[in-house]
Amino acid sequence: MPVPGELTLVAPRRAKPPRHLADLAPAERRAAVEELGHKGFRAAQLSTHYFTHHSDDPTTWTDFPAKHREALAAALFPRLLTPVRDIECDAGTTRKTLWRLFDGALVESVLMRYPDRVTVCVSSQAGCGMNCPFCATGQAGLTRNMSTAEIVDQVVAASRALDRGEVAGGPGRVSNIVFMGMGEPLANYNATAAAVARLIDPTPDGLGLSRRSVTVSTVGLVPGIAKLTNSGLGVTLAVSLHAPDDELRDTLVPINTRYPVGEVVAAAHEYFVKTGRRVSIEYAMIRDINDQAWRADELARVLAFAGPGAWVHVNLIPLNPTPGSQWTASRSRDEKAFVRRLETAGVPVTVRDTRGREIDGACGQLAAADLLDPEEQLS
């Protein structure tokens, strides 16, 4: 486990996951299929099976000669995620899945079904190197980066479960993706950006999701925000700020010692200017730590300093309990006062629905190994 304040910005070296179709851009898939001795058009067929029908099972590929199916599946659809356990709440409409990766690393994803949408929260790293003291993932440290296909396969697995009616409410489709699971997405920028491309590319090249429906969250890696700004991906950016002043944020979000509040907010505002996408400011409400009314005033001042309030939306998150943390969620009266002060200053603000708290699936609660019994931990 990392010591307090310690950052891990470079992921430990581990064996790379095997190549998967989702790691490859469309032109690369065609080349890979041709290298395997098949006509290039077969790549589009494979993409249709995976991204449109959510199938990596060669027995369903009736448009392929039977004699070639198994070899193609072995070459381009290795097993990346093995489900260990599903835990549900909210009458089955919230499901957290623990996955074991090919090298034994553990990650989690969360599917949340609402009346008007289905959101999947995906992990981009096994563990996290940002070491925020109120986050269970950060306290566990960073195991490794995830590959593009490992990220995408979480979404395809959720889509497959919805296709089969395995989620309460019957068959459905994934509509929103949030990169708010385990890991700091912008610390694994290349895989994250490629995964986003697979999510938003039209079918059959990708999953065909709307850019607006994909949110990439960051604790404030300014160089990563700049890359995303110029990437042309145009997804929604969420910045986990959690404090408006550097003195407190240095403790709550240790990366602030490298990229202070002013730089982070300026980078976020530049994202809005370049993309036209309103930025979400994530703010965990922690009792008597960052929830004072004067801090709401300071947050409004910091955001207004970057530009008029229309560029940003503040998303307040009641702190979710994590093992060993001495902190707890704000009192209701303090939360309401914080909201009033922001609204008075003209800052758009909402309080996030805390789905999944009962199964440790809410923001900051994903810890993976804590779900395993001793025998599973040794397997």
Cα-trace Rg, the chain = 21
**How does pLDDT run across 41-70, given as a tens digit for each residue?**
999 999 999 999 999 999 999 999 999 999
Q: What is the structure's pLDDT at 367?
A: 57
pLDDT at 188 over 90: yes
* 375 φ, ψ (degrees, to nearest 5): -65, -40
pLDDT at 79 over 70: yes
Mean of the per-residue pLDDT values for the chain? 92
C-beta atoms surrounding 300 within 10 Å: 21
Q: What is the structure's pLDDT at 378?
A: 37
Integer Cα distance of 289 and 327 in angstroms: 8
Integer Cα distance of 297 and 106 in angstroms: 40
Q: SS in 3 state form for the chain?
A: CCCCCCCCCCCCCCCCCCCCHHHCCHHHHHHHHHHCCCCCCHHHHHHHHHHHCCCCCHHHCCCCCHHHHHHHHHHHCCCCCEEEEEEEEHHHCEEEEEEECCCCCEEEEEEEEECCEEEEECCCEEECCCCCCCCHHHHHCEEEECCHHHHHHHHHHHHHHHHCCCCCCCCCCCCEEEECCCCCHHHHHHHHHHHHHHHHCCCCCCCCCCHHHEEEEECCCHHHHHHHHCCCCCCEEEEECCCCCHHHHHHHCHHHHCCCHHHHHHHHHHHHHHHCCCEEEEEEEECCCCCCHHHHHHHHHHHHHHCCHHHEEEEEEECCCCCCCCCCECCHHHHHHHHHHHHHCCCCEEECCCCCHHHCCCCCCCCCHHHCCHHHHHC
C-beta atoms surrounding 373 within 10 Å: 8
Contact between 80 and 102 under an 8 Å Cβ cutoff? The reply is: yes
Catalytically active residues, by annotation? 108, 363
Contact between 342 and 349 under an 8 Å Cβ cutoff? The reply is: yes
Integer Cα distance of 238 and 215 in angstroms: 7
Query: Which position has the higher pLDDT, 373 or 255?
Result: 255
Q: What is the structure's pLDDT at 74?
A: 97
Contact between 156 and 21 under an 8 Å Cβ cutoff? The reply is: no
**How does pLDDT run across 202-239, given as a tens digit for each residue?**
999 999 999 999 999 999 999 999 999 999 999 999 99
Least confident of 251-265, 336-350, 361-375: 361-375
Per-residue confidence at 363, pLDDT binned at 50, 70, 90? low
pLDDT at 360 over 60: no
pLDDT at 38 over 80: yes
pLDDT at 368 over 70: no
pLDDT at 324 over 80: no
Q: What is the structure's pLDDT at 300?
A: 97
pLDDT at 150 over 50: yes
**How does pLDDT run across 327-345, given as a tens digit for each residue?**
899 999 999 999 999 999 9
Integer Cα distance of 170 and 6 in angstroms: 45
Per-residue confidence at 32, pLDDT binned at 50, 70, 90? very high
Per-residue confidence at 323, pLDDT binned at 50, 70, 90? low
Q: What is the mean pLDDT of residues 259-274?
A: 98
Six-digit token pair at 131?
């070491």
